[in-house]
Structure 1
């Protein structure tokens, strides 16, 4: 079985190398033809040098073969689509450059594909790679839980699930797709997704939704696990506000690509969250209301902005 790992990266060489290291350390079933394709996207750091060094030293410790091809046009969707031009068959395992894979990641992928031969899309868990240095509020699960979460987190439990548009739609950080699906539903939307580290997203969710609407099936398999790097900077208020705005804007653009009138309920929510921010007199509550306020602003921006095709 042919598996191609695709990693798109932008100016994060240190994290990228840790991701590649985790792939090399994972168990590789004998029946798997596995390769790694890295797409450096408009990188200005030492990413290209580090990848060249990897190739030069590949004979040491017998690491997996690795190919890298630059995509100069900024934007993760451009990088993803570059990978699709290169990979023409088999299965693609999408792994973010700030993830590490579980030791049993590849055996779990193979087991899922063999168990569900009619399924062309799989996803699994994304778990924060906790260090113990994160603030206590990061583990808040109650009324004032921050959403979207500072660290990507996707866990639908410990049972296999058939997902639909009514379920939680996974991001692309732990997505496995048969290459033929892209020939059927098209590539990633270049109007969505991050450019650099601007926190836009939803290019992956948009693709998944189009695949589901085209009749493909998506299964959640809990044994397919990746761990997401926990960046201390992501717990700062400025980051939380920016992420909430950008992610809500991009999600709105998925469902409403054309300009429409902003619904009255969003203006009502905006006022409610502003009042909550001003009169909570508690920093945990203020943080919650500020991020919700930013999220509603993102939704409003998504309504008044048309999405280029």
Structure 2
């Protein structure tokens, strides 16, 4: 088996270093060739120098072989699309530049490919990389818990299953795709996705939805695990509100819904959450409904700007 790990990065050389270090620490499966491809998207920091230095010392350090390319057009979708014609191997594994992989990550990808030979896409778990400095509310499971968390999390249990049309939709942070899928599904939407480190997204969800529409088989494999770096800024209320708004906005835009205008139920939700914010009697409850209100505002914006 031969697979390529694809990383798109923008001005995060320190985090990229940690990501690559975690990949090189991971156990390597027998009879499997693994390579790395990094797309440096409009980078103005030391990323280019760092990648050249990696290549220079990779062999003597026993690191995985790496190629990289610069994509000057800002936007993750442009970086992903730049990579598609350069990909080699039968499978492509996506790793974000602010993730670290589990020590069994490489082995479990190979295991999944052998266990589910009919699959054309896999997704695994993404867990917050908690270090004990986070506030208590991020672990709250009560009625006013914040969801989704400001740090990405994709965890649907400890058993593998085929994800059907009504199942969860993974993002691209821990996605593994057969290379020939791109010839059937096409490229990533440049109308969606982040530019730099803003809070947009949706290019990966849009791709997965199009793949499922065309009959590609997606399997959830919980043993394939990545951990998302926890930026303390993400645990502030302003970030929670911005992220909730942007996530809902791009999620609505990515839906395969040809209707126009804003559905009536969204206006009802907007009014309800607004009243709940005003008459809340505790900070936990107020924070919860503020985040919900931001999410609905994002849905309204997404509905008004949906691709028809």
Q: 3-state DSSP class of the match of 1:176?
A: strand
Question: How large is the Cα RMSD of the aligned pairs?
Answer: 1.4
Q: 3-state DSSP class of the match of 2:159?
A: coil
Could you say which residue in structure 2 is the equivalent of 1:54?
Answer: 54
Comparing 257-266 and 176-185, the one that deviates more? 257-266
Deviations 1:163-222 (A, max 9, x none): 012111111111000000110111111111111111111111111111111111110111
Alignment of 1:247-286 (within 5 A): 247-255=247-255, 260-286=260-286
- 1:169 and 2:187 matched: no
Give the total of aligned pairs. 308
* Shift of residue 148, structure 1, vs aligned partner: 2.5
Moved over 6 A (4+): none
Distance between the aligned counterparts of 2:161 and 2:224, measured in 1?
13
Distance between the aligned counterparts of 2:10 and 2:143, measured in 1?
35
TM-score (norm 2): 0.96
Deviations 1:60-100 (A, max 9, x none): 42111111101111111111111102115411000001111
Distance between the aligned counterparts of 1:76 and 1:142, measured in 2?
35
Q: 3-state DSSP class of the match of 2:194?
A: coil
Alignment of 1:221-236 (within 5 A): 221-236=221-236
Could you say which residue in structure 1 is the equivalent of 2:74?
Answer: 74
- 1:291 and 2:291 matched: yes
What 5-or-longer segments of structure 2 have no aligned partner? none
Could you say which residue in structure 2 is the equivalent of 1:208?
Answer: 208
Could you say which residue in structure 2 is the equivalent of 1:159?
Answer: 159
Distance between the aligned counterparts of 1:92 and 1:35, measured in 2?
10
Distance between the aligned counterparts of 2:107 and 2:45, measured in 1?
34
Distance between the aligned counterparts of 1:302 and 1:98, measured in 2?
27
* Shift of residue 285, structure 1, vs aligned partner: 1.4
Q: 3-state DSSP class of the match of 1:212?
A: helix
Comparing 152-161 and 57-66, the one that deviates more? 57-66
What 5-or-longer segments of structure 1 have no aligned partner? none
Could you say which residue in structure 2 is the equivalent of 1:91?
Answer: 91
* Shift of residue 47, structure 1, vs aligned partner: 1.3
Could you say which residue in structure 1 is the equivalent of 2:217?
Answer: 217
* Shift of residue 259, structure 1, vs aligned partner: 7.0
